[in-house]
A and B are shown apart, each in its own frame.
Chain A
């Protein structure tokens, strides 16, 4: 039986392979970068039953636009920006259907948060409720910066705006989230705890 060899090469070679229509390159593109893309989607949207659909959509967009990628070495950053764009589109579509939803049982995600503590699970839930109330252009940079821990320049690149613009949006998001978090008991506990437990030598 003939087995296809896995694709070998850096991201620049990967992009060249995808552009050339190499199936192994497409598979390798996904294998190498899908976990990161999925994580970025989850940071912005929270744990979501549509993650597989959205993940697929991001890579479809990537395949369609791969010829426009000017710097193949910046592949991950480019994929991040596509993920952010896709997540933003999803947020906007959901604005109109925020209330009650009937979902078929097989579509309801069954996630057992066995590892995190009950406190953190509650904080996770409340954090995303709060984030859902922010405008998309503030929610997204906040999630990328404070939850995913991206550098400011990475956040700006992912959102397709200048560093100055992302700083302004982050400042607004930070203020709104902090005010909202102090009104949510699970988050207030963590915010106060974070302040208490910080090393006093920290600036």
Chain B
């Protein structure tokens, strides 16, 4: 392979290796799914090529493949109009009224008073609708392979079959979602990644105030009153609390930021009760807190987090990983760093960081440790990224 030498090439190689490990986990399923559709002539994003072998060739025992036509796109109609709906055209709802947009698969979108929306794309699996302002109640028909997207300001709602009400106030930068049926996972600003939302829950995001909440068990009636002209869409929702309120089943805000790799925000959220989190969090939480401190260059807090982890959860894999991180945090104190890397190797000789720990020992260890690490490295990882360094140390 022609990967360039140097740090970027080495980083690229490590990324490729990690990615290959992840790809391997789902390879069989991915290949089977794609192959099955290809050979069955299942519809893709484009029309299937229709091609046949002449009958004469078929008579000679060659295979004949007849690929069925891809199904047509869904159609839709806007309530109150005669002609079929037009992709890209605005649907603007007058004050005091509501308007249904009905699709040929049975999906219905109900736009509230003074709402503006467009159907920007339609295919055989669903559609993409953009809500420019206002509120839409969606009842998406749950069908195999259904794929619907509702663009709501900077948010995207992607569903396969559920019922919900979503709202966007562009002037106030406020988003809300009330889920009636089904369940989805929500990712994005403030709420983090892949947060599961269940039927009966309502999510509100106030972007300017940087707060979000999830309220459980609010009644979302089957015949929700669509707001009239005297009521703004936002006020039609249950009133927001006066102060930030985190539902008891929601993870702490710092954890939401950490899972989205927003390290500065993580530290800002965790700092007011830093010692409390270290005292109450599990090993995974302490690892995240330590990493957040490390990534924001707060060496003291990072050291505290990892030392606390080792004290509270001795003998665990995460305690060993904490030892490795303490080695990194030791910086120029080579003796301390070497001690921590060796501790990791003693506790987890075949752990996921063993190769890295050996590599670092080759750099910071004393002569004896350096040679020992190099020999071990060459035994276990003869083709590893640091093999050449190891060879130069042992003089091969």
A interface residue numbers (CB < 8 A to B): 4, 20-24, 26-27, 30-31, 34-35, 38-39, 42-43, 46-47, 51-53, 55-57, 59-61, 63-64, 96-97, 99-109, 111-127, 129, 145-152, 154, 174, 177-178, 181, 185-187, 189-203
Report which residue of B17, B34, B65, B186 has the largest number of chain A beta carbons within 10 angstroms of its beta carbon. B34
Contact (A22, B8) CB under 8 Å given A124-B19, A199-B389? no
Please, which residue of chain A has its CB at the minimum distance from the CB of B20?
Answer: A39
Q: Which residues of B contact A185 (CB under 8 A)?
A: 263, 294-295
Please, which residue of chain A has its CB at the minimum distance from the CB of B23?
Answer: A42
**CB <8 Å contact, A189 and B328:** yes
Cα-based distance from A31 to B34 in the complex (angstroms): 11
Other A-B contacts than A30-B31, A104-B182, A108-B185, 10 sampled, CB-CB below 8 A, are A38-B27, A53-B44, A60-B49, A99-B155, A103-B194, A105-B184, A109-B26, A152-B2, A154-B2, A177-B8
Cα-based distance from A125 to B156 in the complex (angstroms): 21
Please, which residue of chain B has its CB at the minimum distance from the CB of A128?
Answer: B15
**CB <8 Å contact, B18 and A43:** no
A111: contacting residue among B17, B26, B53, B197, CB under 8 A: B26
B78 within 8 A of A: no
Q: Which of B56-64, B244-252, B265-273 has 4 or more CB atoms under 8 Å from chain A?
A: B56-64
Cα-based distance from A152 to B51 in the complex (angstroms): 37
A102: contacting residue among B8, B23, B185, B355, CB under 8 A: B185
**CB <8 Å contact, B159 and A201:** no
Q: Which 5 pairs of residues, A with B, have the shortest CB-CB distance?
A: A100-B188, A149-B1, A146-B12, A149-B3, A194-B10
A59: contacting residue among B15, B29, B38, B188, CB under 8 A: B38
Instruction: List 16 contacting pairs A-B, 8 Å CB cutoff, sorted by A.
Output: A52-B34, A55-B31, A101-B157, A102-B158, A102-B186, A106-B160, A116-B21, A116-B352, A118-B352, A121-B18, A124-B15, A124-B22, A125-B261, A127-B11, A198-B388, A199-B392
**CB <8 Å contact, B53 and A20:** yes
Q: Which residues of A contact B177 (CB under 8 A)?
A: 102
Contact (A190, B14) CB under 8 Å given A38-B30, A103-B184, A104-B158? yes
Cα-based distance from A107 to B126 in the complex (angstroms): 15
Distance from A168 Cβ to chain B, minimum over Cβ atoms (Å):
16
A20: contacting residue among B57, B321, B388, CB under 8 A: B57
B353: contacting residue among A27, A119, A196, CB under 8 A: A119
A146: contacting residue among B3, B23, B53, B291, CB under 8 A: B3
**CB <8 Å contact, A196 and B363:** yes
Q: Which residues of B contact A107 (CB under 8 A)?
A: 158, 160
**CB <8 Å contact, A197 and B359:** yes
**Which residues in chain B, 137-177, are within 8 Å of chain A measured between CB atoms?**
149, 151, 154-162, 175, 177
Contact (A103, B158) CB under 8 Å given A26-B39, A27-B35? yes
Please, which residue of chain A has its CB at the minimum distance from the CB of B186?
Answer: A102
Please, which residue of chain B has its CB at the minimum distance from the CB of A188?
Answer: B295
Q: Which residues of B contact A201 (CB under 8 A)?
A: 392
Distance from A45 Cβ to chain B, minimum over Cβ atoms (Å):
11
Please, which residue of chain A has its CB at the minimum distance from the CB of B1?
Answer: A149
Cα-based distance from A181 to B170 in the complex (angstroms): 34
B22: contacting residue among A111, A186, A197, CB under 8 A: A111
Cα-based distance from A25 to B352 in the complex (angstroms): 42
B80 within 8 A of A: no
**CB <8 Å contact, B352 and A21:** no
**CB <8 Å contact, B18 and A124:** yes
B156: contacting residue among A4, A21, A53, A102, CB under 8 A: A102
Distance from B387 Cβ to chain A, minimum over Cβ atoms (Å):
9
Cα-based distance from A21 to B49 in the complex (angstroms): 11
**CB <8 Å contact, B392 and A147:** no
Distance from A95 Cβ to chain B, minimum over Cβ atoms (Å):
12
Q: Which residues of B contact A46 (CB under 8 A)?
A: 19
B372 within 8 A of A: no
Cα-based distance from A109 to B194 in the complex (angstroms): 10
Cα-based distance from A191 to B177 in the complex (angstroms): 42
Please, which residue of chain A has its CB at the minimum distance from the CB of B65?
Answer: A23
Cα-based distance from A38 to B156 in the complex (angstroms): 26
Report which residue of A149, A186, A191, A202 has the largest number of chain B beta carbons within 10 angstroms of its beta carbon. A149
Cα-based distance from A160 to B386 in the complex (angstroms): 35
Q: Which residues of A contact B386 (CB under 8 A)?
A: 197
Cα-based distance from A34 to B294 in the complex (angstroms): 41
Distance from B44 Cβ to chain A, minimum over Cβ atoms (Å):
5
Distance from A53 Cβ to chain B, minimum over Cβ atoms (Å):
7
**CB <8 Å contact, B159 and A102:** yes
**CB <8 Å contact, B33 and A190:** no
Q: Which residues of B contact A59 (CB under 8 A)?
A: 34, 38
Distance from A81 Cβ to chain B, minimum over Cβ atoms (Å):
17
**CB <8 Å contact, A197 and B363:** yes
B218 within 8 A of A: no
Contact (A52, B22) CB under 8 Å given A100-B154, A196-B363? no
Cα-based distance from A177 to B7 in the complex (angstroms): 12
Q: Which residues of B contact A27 (CB under 8 A)?
A: 35, 39
**CB <8 Å contact, B65 and A123:** no
**CB <8 Å contact, B19 and A147:** yes
B45 within 8 A of A: yes
**CB <8 Å contact, B189 and A100:** yes
Contact (A57, B187) CB under 8 Å given A101-B156, A105-B196? no
**CB <8 Å contact, B1 and A105:** no
